[in-house]
Amino acid sequence: MGEFKVDWLDHIAYESRDVDRLKNFYVDILGFQVLKRPPFEVKGWWLLFPNSSLGLHIIDKQRPDIIDPSVPLPHPKILRTAPHIAIRTHFFDDIIEKLKQKDTIFYTDTVPASGVRQMWFYDPDGNGVELGEFPIYQAPIFRFSNENNAEKDIASFFENKTVLITGCSQGIGLEFVKQLTNIPTCCVLATHRPSSSTPLSSLSSHLTHPSLHHLLPLDVCDEKTIEELEDKVKQCGVSCIDVLIHNAGINSANHPYLDTFEMNAGEATKIFQTNSLGVVTVTAALQNLLGGKKQEGEGKEKEESVRGGE
């Protein structure tokens, strides 16, 4: 048997004497999404962490309590060095207000030498939760295998290229932005839904070469933002797009657990419009910029802006 490794963390499971109460806490305060759960014999809920594929499974508790539930929990300050789950957020103050409305005791602090705000509190079952305005960590440049199965650094492909990526608000699109903005000579045009506050918004303050990268509003289902896209790109000083990455896409709310025949017509239409027609309309809107020639001096200006930022 060859070498193998695990892929990723799939879900966290909590036991609860009141699964509905615990579900409501994570949905109402932290914005978790409810998924369709298979018909297990034991009652429970499947939730989805916001902006993630990580699940939180809440299961009706069948075994005796190890800790006496009548004993008051210690102050949440102790959670700094006790078991807890940690969640990144850019709605720190909003969540504090929600916790106050629910009379939930919490403790706030900052990461030493960084000023990053954190808070700790208990969920209704006494599980420790940490929330923080944590920085977005830059992962190493991804690699791929060529025909000879030899690893090749994909960064070289994107050097001196202009790349436009759709659907960068979260997930894979956001990761593309994080990876490509690490390449000094790659100009990245990252699109996001207009008027949306997402992890992409906070990324701009962490860019190594901010003069090379631009955030552009785009909803692939909105004709107005599509029509304006070419002009928005030109306003960034870009006359040619070398690589167009169509990442914007949606799925059913309970994917992959929703049966096809349970999907209504409106949801199916929205998915088709986003995932299929969106690719066509955005490509058509940018056809004058795709594969063209850069204006004279455009590459030189990019190189100078990179050197000036180092």
Assess whether 24 and 50 both reside in one domain. yes
Task: Give a yes or no: residue 145 inside a domain.
Answer: no
Residue 103, pLDDT above cutoff 90: yes
> Region 229-240: what's the mean pLDDT?
92
Domain that holds residue 193: 153-309
CB atoms within 10 A of CB 130: 18
Assess whether 57 and 82 both reside in one domain. no
Q: How do residues 162-172 score in pLDDT, each as one tens digit?
A: 999 998 887 88
Average pLDDT of the residues of the chain: 80
Task: Give a yes or no: residue 68 inside a domain.
Answer: no
Assess whether 38 and 179 both reside in one domain. no
Task: Give a yes or no: residue 48 inside a domain.
Answer: yes
> CA-CA distance, 79 to 85, in Å (whole number)?
10
Assess whether 164 and 296 both reside in one domain. yes
> CA-CA distance, 23 to 209, in Å (whole number)?
42
The alpha carbon dihedral of 23, 24, 27, 29 has a sign of: negative
Assess whether 50 and 167 both reside in one domain. no
Residue 243, pLDDT above cutoff 70: yes
Assess whether 26 and 112 both reside in one domain. no
Predicted confidence at residue 309, as pLDDT, reads: 30
Predicted confidence at residue 302, as pLDDT, reads: 39
Grade residue 308 by pLDDT with cuts at 50, 70 and 90.
very low
CB atoms within 10 A of CB 14: 19
> Region 216-228: what's the mean pLDDT?
92
Task: Give a yes or no: residue 66 inside a domain.
Answer: no
Task: Give a yes or no: residue 141 inside a domain.
Answer: no
Assess whether 223 and 119 both reside in one domain. no
Predicted confidence at residue 47, as pLDDT, reads: 93
Q: Which two tokens stand for residue 193?
A: 């839904």
Predicted confidence at residue 153, as pLDDT, reads: 62
Assess whether 33 and 168 both reside in one domain. no
Q: Which residue has the higher pLDDT, 120 or 62?
A: 120
Structural domains of the chain, count? 3
Task: Give a yes or no: residue 43 inside a domain.
Answer: yes
Q: How do residues 19-52 score in pLDDT, each as one tens digit?
A: 999 999 999 999 999 998 888 888 999 999 887 7
Q: Which residue has the higher pLDDT, 136 or 252?
A: 252
Task: Give a yes or no: residue 103 inside a domain.
Answer: yes
pTM, full prediction: 0.52
Q: Which amino acid is at 102?
A: K
> Region 169-182: what's the mean pLDDT?
84
Residue 230, pLDDT above cutoff 50: yes
Assess whether 113 and 220 both reside in one domain. no
Strands 85-88 and 128-132 turn out to be parallel
Assess whether 213 and 109 both reside in one domain. no
Assess whether 161 and 295 both reside in one domain. yes
43: domain CATH number? 3.10.180.10
The secondary element (H helix, E strand) that includes residue 99 is helix 92-101
Backbone angles phi, psi at 106, to 5 degrees: -140, 165
